[in-house]
Each structure stands twice: as structure tokens, then as C-alpha cells.
Amino acid sequence: MNKSSTGWCFRNARGHFVMVETTLLYGNCSIVEGESLALFQAMKALTQSGISNVIFETDFKSVVDAITHFRGGSSEFSSLISHITNILSCNPNFTVKFIKRQANMIAHILARTAVSWPRRYTFESLLLCITTLLNNEMI
């Protein structure tokens, strides 16, 4: 059985921890689909929480490019990008931007950690596995 995982971290305007979410996915999922799915899940969760002014950062440039230049299509990736662009059109204070992978290590650690958990988890308390990275980024 193929597995992949996603993880995202939400911080406030000062960079302080608010929440994280991890998801274990079963089945075939390309890297670009996984990155898109994590972004989509984060957008849905924050929209449902009533949070309306967010900068979403991803280290996958092809996802940002696909959102910026969305042309449609019938693939799973195109469907995810369509959902993301719909959320962005309904939330004018949502922005997606590209960052270097070195600046996005918390999401990668969360995704690696999610492989050992059987489903989606949302945490509103700081996890030990990201504490050092988060503290280093605050300096």
C-alpha cells in the first residue's frame, strides 16, 4: 500500500505558533498533488475557523505557478488547483507565495511525522518535533 503525508503550520502575524495539521494519505499521490492538497487543506481549515488574512507559503514553485496561471484540466492536480483558486477568489486577503525549502522545514518535519499516525490530526499545542525549528525561526 502506498502512503504519503502532508503537514502545515499556522502562525500569527508575529510568527508565533497557533496550530498545525498533519494528514496521512493512502494510495498514489504525486509530490505536486501532495503539496497542493496540503495547501488546500490549510485553506479550508483556516476559512472554516473564520481566519481571513493569511499568507500561505509553499516551497513548491510549480504549485504557485499553477495557481497564478491556472488553465483548467482534468487531472487530480488540476482539480486541486481549481479548488484552491476558488478559495482564493472568495478570500481576497489570502495570498499564496513561494519560499525556499530551507524556510519551510516545519511543514516537512510535520509531513514526515504524519507517516507514523493513522489519520489527520490538528494540534493547537506546540509539538516537540518542531519546537526547536520554530524557536530558531523566531530569533
Per-residue pLDDT 10s for the chain (139 aa) are 588 888 888 988 888 888 888 888 887 788 889 889 999 999 999 999 998 889 999 989 999 999 999 887 778 889 999 999 999 999 999 999 998 877 778 887 888 888 777 778 888 888 887 888 877 776 5
Residue 53's Cα: distance from chain center in Å?
A: 16
Provide the whole-model pTM: 0.83
* Strand 54-58 relative to strand 94-98, pairing: parallel
pLDDT at 138: 64
The domains of the chain, with CATH numbers, are 3-138 (3.30.420.10)
Nearest Cα residue to 12 out of 59, 53, 64? 53
The reported pLDDT for the residue numbered 98 is 93
What is the three-state SS of the chain? CCEEEEEEEEECCCCCEEEEEEEEEECCCCHHHHHHHHHHHHHHHHHHCCCCCEEEEECCHHHHHHHHCCCCCCCHHHHHHHHHHHHHHHCCCEEEEECCHHHHHHHHHHHHHHCCCCCCEEECCCCHHHHHHHHHHHC
